[in-house]
Amino acid sequence: MELIRGRVARADPALEMAASHALLRRSSRGASDGALRVFRPTPMVAFGRSDANRPGFPSAVRACRDAGFDPVIRSAGGRAVACTSATLVLDHVQHDPQAQAGMTARFEDYGALLAGVLLDLGIDSRVGEVPGEFCPGAHSVSARGEVKLIGTAQRIVRDAWLFSSVVIVDDAPLLAPLLTTVYDALEIRFDPASVGAVATEAPDVSIDLLEAALTAAYDDRFGLEEADWDPTVIDEARANVADHRTGVGGADRRDHVGTGD
Protein backbone atom coordinates (compact mmCIF):
# COMPACT_ATOMS: atom_id res chain seq x y z
CA MET A 1 0.00 0.00 0.00
CA GLU A 2 1.23 3.48 -0.83
CA LEU A 3 2.36 5.81 1.95
CA ILE A 4 1.97 9.47 0.99
CA ARG A 5 3.40 11.96 3.46
CA GLY A 6 2.93 15.69 3.93
CA ARG A 7 0.65 18.44 2.76
CA VAL A 8 -0.12 19.24 -0.84
CA ALA A 9 -0.32 22.97 -0.21
CA ARG A 10 1.43 25.56 1.92
CA ALA A 11 -1.80 26.96 3.34
CA ASP A 12 -4.94 25.68 1.67
CA PRO A 13 -6.81 23.14 3.79
CA ALA A 14 -9.59 22.96 1.20
CA LEU A 15 -7.09 21.58 -1.29
CA GLU A 16 -5.94 19.05 1.31
CA MET A 17 -9.53 17.83 1.65
CA ALA A 18 -9.89 17.70 -2.14
CA ALA A 19 -6.63 15.74 -2.47
CA SER A 20 -7.80 13.00 -0.10
CA HIS A 21 -11.12 12.83 -1.96
CA ALA A 22 -9.24 12.52 -5.26
CA LEU A 23 -7.31 9.57 -3.79
CA LEU A 24 -10.65 8.00 -2.90
CA ARG A 25 -11.98 8.46 -6.42
CA ARG A 26 -8.79 6.93 -7.83
CA SER A 27 -9.36 3.83 -5.67
CA SER A 28 -13.01 3.76 -6.71
CA ARG A 29 -11.92 3.52 -10.32
CA GLY A 30 -9.59 0.63 -9.45
CA ALA A 31 -6.49 2.63 -10.36
CA SER A 32 -5.05 2.00 -6.89
CA ASP A 33 -5.63 -0.78 -4.38
CA GLY A 34 -5.05 1.56 -1.47
CA ALA A 35 -3.05 4.36 0.10
CA LEU A 36 -2.36 5.84 3.50
CA ARG A 37 -1.93 9.59 3.52
CA VAL A 38 -0.39 11.21 6.63
CA PHE A 39 -0.12 14.98 7.02
CA ARG A 40 -0.07 17.84 9.52
CA PRO A 41 -2.62 20.46 8.50
CA THR A 42 -2.37 24.19 8.78
CA PRO A 43 -4.98 25.57 11.23
CA MET A 44 -8.43 24.57 10.03
CA VAL A 45 -11.88 23.58 11.13
CA ALA A 46 -13.18 20.73 8.97
CA PHE A 47 -16.98 20.72 8.93
CA GLY A 48 -19.18 17.79 7.99
CA ARG A 49 -21.61 18.40 5.15
CA SER A 50 -24.51 18.15 7.58
CA ASP A 51 -23.02 21.08 9.53
CA ALA A 52 -23.33 23.27 6.45
CA ASN A 53 -27.12 22.80 6.50
CA ARG A 54 -27.55 24.20 10.01
CA PRO A 55 -28.80 27.79 10.43
CA GLY A 56 -25.78 28.78 12.52
CA PHE A 57 -23.22 27.60 9.97
CA PRO A 58 -22.33 31.11 8.66
CA SER A 59 -21.67 32.27 12.23
CA ALA A 60 -19.51 29.22 12.87
CA VAL A 61 -17.50 29.92 9.72
CA ARG A 62 -16.92 33.54 10.73
CA ALA A 63 -15.75 32.43 14.16
CA CYS A 64 -13.17 30.15 12.55
CA ARG A 65 -11.81 32.92 10.35
CA ASP A 66 -11.73 35.35 13.27
CA ALA A 67 -9.58 32.84 15.17
CA GLY A 68 -7.19 32.37 12.22
CA PHE A 69 -8.51 28.93 11.23
CA ASP A 70 -9.58 28.09 7.67
CA PRO A 71 -13.11 26.62 7.53
CA VAL A 72 -13.45 23.75 5.06
CA ILE A 73 -15.87 20.96 4.15
CA ARG A 74 -14.42 17.50 4.50
CA SER A 75 -15.25 14.35 2.56
CA ALA A 76 -15.77 12.09 5.55
CA GLY A 77 -18.88 12.23 7.68
CA GLY A 78 -19.34 13.56 11.19
CA ARG A 79 -19.30 17.00 12.79
CA ALA A 80 -16.79 19.83 13.00
CA VAL A 81 -13.20 19.02 13.95
CA ALA A 82 -10.53 21.66 14.67
CA CYS A 83 -6.86 21.11 13.90
CA THR A 84 -3.52 22.88 14.15
CA SER A 85 -0.16 21.75 12.82
CA ALA A 86 0.15 19.84 16.10
CA THR A 87 -2.42 17.41 14.67
CA LEU A 88 -1.90 14.30 12.59
CA VAL A 89 -4.43 13.40 9.91
CA LEU A 90 -4.38 9.84 8.59
CA ASP A 91 -6.52 9.30 5.50
CA HIS A 92 -6.69 5.65 4.50
CA VAL A 93 -8.32 4.92 1.15
CA GLN A 94 -8.99 1.41 -0.10
CA HIS A 95 -10.49 -0.22 -3.18
CA ASP A 96 -13.24 -2.50 -1.89
CA PRO A 97 -16.30 -3.78 -3.81
CA GLN A 98 -17.90 -4.54 -0.40
CA ALA A 99 -17.26 -1.06 1.00
CA GLN A 100 -20.76 -0.48 2.37
CA ALA A 101 -21.02 -3.81 4.16
CA GLY A 102 -17.82 -3.35 6.14
CA MET A 103 -18.47 0.10 7.63
CA THR A 104 -19.05 -0.91 11.27
CA ALA A 105 -16.25 -3.48 11.22
CA ARG A 106 -13.82 -0.82 10.01
CA PHE A 107 -14.76 1.54 12.83
CA GLU A 108 -14.12 -1.25 15.33
CA ASP A 109 -10.95 -2.53 13.68
CA TYR A 110 -9.16 0.76 13.12
CA GLY A 111 -10.36 2.20 16.41
CA ALA A 112 -8.66 -0.74 18.12
CA LEU A 113 -5.52 -0.28 16.01
CA LEU A 114 -5.23 3.42 16.91
CA ALA A 115 -5.95 2.81 20.58
CA GLY A 116 -3.34 0.05 20.60
CA VAL A 117 -0.66 2.42 19.34
CA LEU A 118 -1.44 4.91 22.11
CA LEU A 119 -1.51 2.13 24.69
CA ASP A 120 1.97 1.02 23.61
CA LEU A 121 3.11 4.61 24.19
CA GLY A 122 1.90 4.54 27.77
CA ILE A 123 -1.53 6.17 27.41
CA ASP A 124 -4.62 4.64 29.02
CA SER A 125 -6.45 4.64 25.68
CA ARG A 126 -9.98 3.41 25.18
CA VAL A 127 -12.47 3.20 22.33
CA GLY A 128 -15.85 4.78 22.92
CA GLU A 129 -17.70 8.08 22.95
CA VAL A 130 -16.70 10.72 25.50
CA PRO A 131 -19.70 12.68 26.84
CA GLY A 132 -19.93 16.07 25.15
CA GLU A 133 -17.09 15.39 22.70
CA PHE A 134 -16.60 17.11 19.34
CA CYS A 135 -17.72 15.05 16.34
CA PRO A 136 -19.31 12.45 18.62
CA GLY A 137 -18.99 8.80 17.72
CA ALA A 138 -19.02 5.38 19.34
CA HIS A 139 -15.52 4.62 18.07
CA SER A 140 -13.62 7.69 19.20
CA VAL A 141 -10.30 7.04 20.94
CA SER A 142 -9.92 8.67 24.33
CA ALA A 143 -7.66 8.78 27.36
CA ARG A 144 -9.31 7.08 30.33
CA GLY A 145 -12.70 7.51 28.66
CA GLU A 146 -12.56 11.16 29.73
CA VAL A 147 -10.87 13.24 27.00
CA LYS A 148 -10.98 12.62 23.26
CA LEU A 149 -7.64 12.18 21.49
CA ILE A 150 -8.62 10.72 18.11
CA GLY A 151 -11.74 11.14 16.02
CA THR A 152 -12.55 8.76 13.18
CA ALA A 153 -14.93 9.13 10.25
CA GLN A 154 -15.65 7.44 6.94
CA ARG A 155 -16.74 8.21 3.40
CA ILE A 156 -18.01 5.39 1.20
CA VAL A 157 -18.27 5.55 -2.58
CA ARG A 158 -18.76 2.88 -5.21
CA ASP A 159 -16.09 0.18 -4.71
CA ALA A 160 -13.98 2.20 -2.27
CA TRP A 161 -13.86 3.84 1.14
CA LEU A 162 -12.00 6.54 3.02
CA PHE A 163 -11.25 6.09 6.72
CA SER A 164 -10.05 9.36 8.21
CA SER A 165 -8.44 9.65 11.64
CA VAL A 166 -7.67 13.01 13.28
CA VAL A 167 -5.13 12.71 16.09
CA ILE A 168 -4.91 15.70 18.45
CA VAL A 169 -1.26 15.71 19.46
CA ASP A 170 -1.19 19.14 21.15
CA ASP A 171 -2.89 22.56 21.38
CA ALA A 172 -5.99 21.41 23.27
CA PRO A 173 -6.16 24.77 25.16
CA LEU A 174 -6.36 26.52 21.77
CA LEU A 175 -8.88 24.13 20.22
CA ALA A 176 -11.36 23.85 23.09
CA PRO A 177 -12.57 27.49 23.15
CA LEU A 178 -12.79 27.64 19.36
CA LEU A 179 -14.84 24.45 19.25
CA THR A 180 -17.05 25.86 21.98
CA THR A 181 -17.86 28.88 19.81
CA VAL A 182 -18.37 26.73 16.71
CA TYR A 183 -20.66 24.21 18.40
CA ASP A 184 -22.62 26.97 20.12
CA ALA A 185 -23.25 28.54 16.71
CA LEU A 186 -24.33 25.18 15.30
CA GLU A 187 -26.52 24.60 18.38
CA ILE A 188 -24.94 21.22 19.08
CA ARG A 189 -24.06 20.02 22.57
CA PHE A 190 -20.36 20.24 23.36
CA ASP A 191 -18.21 20.11 26.50
CA PRO A 192 -14.81 21.82 26.12
CA ALA A 193 -13.44 19.67 28.94
CA SER A 194 -13.72 16.67 26.59
CA VAL A 195 -10.88 17.92 24.35
CA GLY A 196 -7.64 16.12 25.07
CA ALA A 197 -4.20 15.86 23.53
CA VAL A 198 -1.52 13.19 23.36
CA ALA A 199 1.07 15.68 24.65
CA THR A 200 -0.92 16.13 27.85
CA GLU A 201 -1.17 12.39 28.46
CA ALA A 202 2.38 11.50 27.42
CA PRO A 203 4.66 14.58 27.36
CA ASP A 204 7.64 12.57 26.13
CA VAL A 205 5.80 11.45 22.97
CA SER A 206 6.67 13.89 20.18
CA ILE A 207 4.60 14.28 17.06
CA ASP A 208 7.41 12.67 15.05
CA LEU A 209 7.48 9.66 17.37
CA LEU A 210 3.72 9.32 17.22
CA GLU A 211 3.66 9.53 13.42
CA ALA A 212 6.35 6.84 13.25
CA ALA A 213 4.38 4.59 15.61
CA LEU A 214 1.13 5.00 13.69
CA THR A 215 2.70 4.36 10.30
CA ALA A 216 4.55 1.36 11.72
CA ALA A 217 1.23 -0.13 12.83
CA TYR A 218 -0.14 0.27 9.31
CA ASP A 219 3.07 -1.07 7.83
CA ASP A 220 2.86 -4.20 9.97
CA ARG A 221 -0.62 -4.86 8.62
CA PHE A 222 -0.43 -3.74 5.00
CA GLY A 223 3.21 -3.25 4.05
CA LEU A 224 3.73 0.40 3.14
CA GLU A 225 5.81 1.78 0.29
CA GLU A 226 6.74 5.47 0.24
CA ALA A 227 5.14 7.16 -2.77
CA ASP A 228 4.95 10.61 -4.31
CA TRP A 229 1.75 12.31 -5.37
CA ASP A 230 0.39 11.23 -8.74
CA PRO A 231 0.12 14.48 -10.76
CA THR A 232 -3.27 13.41 -12.11
CA VAL A 233 -4.60 13.15 -8.55
CA ILE A 234 -3.41 16.68 -7.81
CA ASP A 235 -5.02 17.93 -11.02
CA GLU A 236 -8.31 16.31 -10.04
CA ALA A 237 -8.07 17.82 -6.55
CA ARG A 238 -7.51 21.28 -7.95
CA ALA A 239 -10.46 20.87 -10.31
CA ASN A 240 -12.77 19.98 -7.41
CA VAL A 241 -11.40 22.14 -4.60
CA ALA A 242 -14.48 24.39 -4.65
CA ASP A 243 -16.51 21.46 -3.27
CA HIS A 244 -14.51 21.76 -0.05
CA ARG A 245 -14.69 25.52 0.43
CA THR A 246 -17.42 26.85 2.67
CA GLY A 247 -18.73 29.50 0.30
CA VAL A 248 -19.60 31.71 3.29
CA GLY A 249 -18.03 35.17 3.29
CA GLY A 250 -14.32 35.90 3.31
CA ALA A 251 -11.61 34.68 1.01
CA ASP A 252 -10.17 31.22 1.47
CA ARG A 253 -6.42 30.95 0.97
CA ARG A 254 -5.23 29.57 -2.35
CA ASP A 255 -2.87 26.69 -2.94
CA HIS A 256 0.85 26.49 -3.56
CA VAL A 257 1.47 22.91 -4.67
CA GLY A 258 4.54 20.99 -3.59
CA THR A 259 5.64 23.05 -0.61
CA GLY A 260 4.14 21.06 2.25
CA ASP A 261 5.87 19.64 5.27
Give the dihedral of Cα atoms 169, 102, 78, 31; nearest 10 deg.
Answer: 80
- The stretches of 13-162 forming alpha helices (DSSP H) are 13-28, 57-66, 103-120
pLDDT at 251 > cutoff 80: no
Q: Whole-prediction pTM value?
A: 0.93
Q: Are 227 and 210 in contact (CB under 8 A)?
A: no
The pLDDT of residue 216 is 98
Write down the pLDDT at residue 61. 98
Tell me what the mean pLDDT of segment 206-220 comes to: 98
pLDDT score for 2: 98
Work out the average pLDDT over 7-13: 94
Domains of the chain with CATH codes: 2-233 (3.30.930.10)
